Structure 1
Amino acid sequence: MSTKHPIISITGSSGAGTTSVKRTFEQIFRRENISAAYVEGDAFHRYDRAEMRHQMAEQAAQGNRHFSHFSPETNLFAELEDLFRTYGRTGTGVVRRYVHDEEEERLYGSPPGTFTPWERIPADTDLLFYEGLHGAVVTDEVNVAEHADLKIGVVPVINLEWIQKLHRDRSTRGYSTEAVTDTILRRMPDYVNYICPQFTETDINFQRVPTVDTSNPFIARWIPTPDESMVVIRFRNPRGIDFPYLLAMIPNSFMSRANSIVIHGSKLDLAMQLILTPLILQLVDRKKRAASHAPVPERVD
């Protein structure tokens, strides 16, 4: 963790909804005039699209049916940890982008499915903002989580996560239901070993729970809407969280445990604005105090 160069990390599986959470952070950054260095987790995959397909075919031929984007073998965990460590110390570091589609090809000048060259983060950003699969990953070799100042987990209940992934991959990537199902099954061991454990490292988890039947996600015709959902918000350390204020500001919310508040799904953006804005401003204020050599109050989780 760093006082002078804070890091915010959003972590969640493919289809979990981290991109939607990222948009809320972008709104807060714009409103509060905060300059963020954006880092996408896909940039730290080890293989580009063509290389990954080749590796998957080779692994399948050897009998490995669980080779996935979730594992240490297919990601640059050490490089991601080094970025967090270096940015925390110096306010800069090297990053690249993964080009997803033709629109991003026009922006970055690299073909879809490839990486842009590594480049240095400008030295004048207020904080680093990571969004991806492994923002709080811990293994025997690396500990990305310890370098982030605010870690947010986005983790819908599993059937909803699968529904969201199925609909996204079929509508935007042209995959069949069978192909997406195969991906889900192939990733399952790595999901259990490298995705789930991160949510014990996160400071706040947002878990969307549908209030409609999702018993068979593979035949669901629609993604449950926010109006058909509740959201459980869990704080790892509730110290400093003004729960009476949140309950008063968010209609029909209630406490389910001493560290958890439950809200209607349609109020998620409001809840995130109320919860996250003070935490972000606190990080920026501590940064300014450190830069001016003023006394810095203790971190409030």
Structure 2
Amino acid sequence: MSRKHPVIAVTGSSGAGTTTVKRVFENIFRREGIRPAVIEGDAFHRFSRQEMKERIAQGDLEGRAVSHFGPDTNEWALLEQQFRAYGQGGRCRSRYYLHSPEEAEPYQQEPGTFTPWVETPADTDLLFYEGLHGCVKTESIDMVRHADLKIGVVPIINLEWIQKIHRDTRDRGYSKEAVSDVILRRMHDYVHYIVPQFGETDINFQRVPVVDTSNPFIARDIPTAGESLTVIRFKNPRGIDFPYLLSMIDNSFMSRANTIVVPGGKMDLAMQLILTPMILRLMEIRRAQLQ
């Protein structure tokens, strides 16, 4: 952790809603005049798309499950090094993973490859990370100790599968059987490296549908925000003004002493109300240290 150069980590599996949280943070940063350095989790994958396909195929031949969720396919030590570097000096290095032809065209590269490493801009106020592994903690890696605010974003597992099935079959041309194979291949790493992070986060936003998702492989539609609730759990509820949140968010309620439940369509509002004062507090501490 760093009082002069704070680090915010948003972590969640693919399709979990981390993009929504990223948009909320962008709005807060713009409104409050905060200059973030931004690094994306995909930048710290170890292999290009083609290299990853080759390693998955080799793993299948050898009876090993290879996925983007585990340590062998990610540069976790390098990511931790960037968290540490930013906390110490306010600068770190990153790059972009080019997902699509549209993203790759300005760089004159192929989709599924990485841009060169570059330094983050000087004179930023904080580091913002969004990706799969912002709170990974193993025997040799500890991202948690470097992050000042840790946010988990995770839907219940069946909803996560529905979102992945629809995205991969509709946008990427995979069959349901192929998507099922990917889900199974990822399961060991998901259980051992993704799920434990949500015990380390300061706040978790978990989307829970209120429609039947019991068989995600036959679901015709992704449950909408209006068909969902968002469960918000605070690791340390001390200082959280729950009466204020309940008064500001219609139809919200508390399910436990550290948990508030809001309508799915109000998740953006809840994030704004909860996260804005936390970010401003980080900025107050930073300014005091720089004086």
TM-score greater than 0.5 by the shorter chain: yes
Once the two structures are overlaid, the 10-residue window that deviates more, 174-183 or 129-138, is 174-183
Counterpart residue number, 1:238: 237
For residues 105 and 289 of structure 2, what CA distance do their matches in structure 1 show? Answer: 40
Equivalence for 1:102: 101
2:100 is the alignment partner of 1:76: no
Q: 1:48 and 1:36 mapped to 2: Cα distance?
A: 27
> What is aligned with 1:32?
32
Matching residue of 2:179: 180
User: How far off is 1:170 after superposition?
Assistant: 2.2
Q: Is the 8 A contact 1:16 1:165 kept in 2?
A: no
Q: Confirm whether residue 142 of structure 1 aligns to residue 150 of structure 2.
A: no
Letter of the 2:36 partner, please give it.
A
In the other structure, the counterpart of 1:10 is 10
Deviations, residues 116-164 of structure 1 (Å, cap 9, x unaligned): 1111111211111111100000011110111011010001110011111
Following superposition, the deviation at residue 265 of structure 1 comes to 0.6
* Deviations, residues 159-189 of structure 1 (Å, cap 9, x unaligned): 0111111112222222222221111110000
- Give the Cα–Cα distance (whole angstroms) in 1 for the partners of residues 181 and 100 of structure 2: 22
1:38 shift after superposition = 1.2
Alignment of 1:204-215 (within 5 A): 204-215=203-214
Shift of 1:283: 0.9
Q: Could you give the per-residue CA deviations for residues 11-46 of structure 1, whole angstroms, max 9, x where no partner exists? A: 011121111111111111111111111111011011
1:46 aligns with 2:46: yes
Quote the Cα distance in structure 1 between the aligned partners of 2:164 and 2:135.
21
More divergent stretch after superposition (172-181 vs 8-17):
172-181
- In 2, Cα distance between the equivalents of 1:107 and 1:284? 34
CA separation in 2, counterparts of 1:201 and 1:170? Answer: 33
* 1:296 paired residue number: none
Normalising by structure 2, report the TM-score: 0.98
Measured in 2, the distance between the counterparts of 1:125 and 1:180 equals 40
**Cα distance in 2 for residues equivalent to 1:173 and 1:284:** 41
Q: Report the residue type matching 1:167 in the other structure.
A: H
Distance in 2 between the 1:171 and 1:202 partners? 32
Question: What is the alpha-carbon distance in structure 1 between the residues aligned to residue 97 and residue 61 of structure 2?
Answer: 27
Structure 2: any 5+ residue segments left out of the alignment?
A: none
Separation in structure 2 between the aligned mates of residue 282 and residue 37 of structure 1, nearest angstrom: 18
Give how far 1:105 is off. Answer: 1.1
Q: Give me the whole-angstrom Cα distance separating, in 2, the residues matched to 1:38 and 1:179.
A: 33
- Please, which moves more after superposition, 39-48 or 13-22? 13-22
Indicate the SS of the match to 1:218.
Answer: coil
Does structure 2 conserve the Cα–Cα contact (< 8 Å) formed by 1:163 and 1:218? yes
1:250 to 2:249 alignment: yes
Query: Is the 8 Å Cα contact of residues 99 and 108 (structure 1) preserved in structure 2?
Result: no
Task: Determine the C-alpha separation between the residues in 1 that align with 2:214 and 2:45.
Answer: 32
Does 2:273 align with 1:278? no
Write the letter of the residue equivalent to 2:252.
S
Task: Provide the C-alpha distance between the structure 2 equivalents of 1:223 and 1:61, rounded to a whole number of angstroms.
Answer: 34
Q: CA deviation at 1:80?
A: 0.4
Aligned length: 291
Q: CA RMSD in A?
A: 0.9
Percent identical:
66
Gaps of 5+ in 1: 293-301
Shift of 1:266: 0.9
1:108 deviates by 3.7
Asked if the contact 1:255/1:261 (under 8 Å) is kept, the reply is yes
Letter paired with 1:257: R
SS of 2:68 mapped into structure 1: coil
Contact 1:204 1:236 (8 Å CA) reproduced: yes
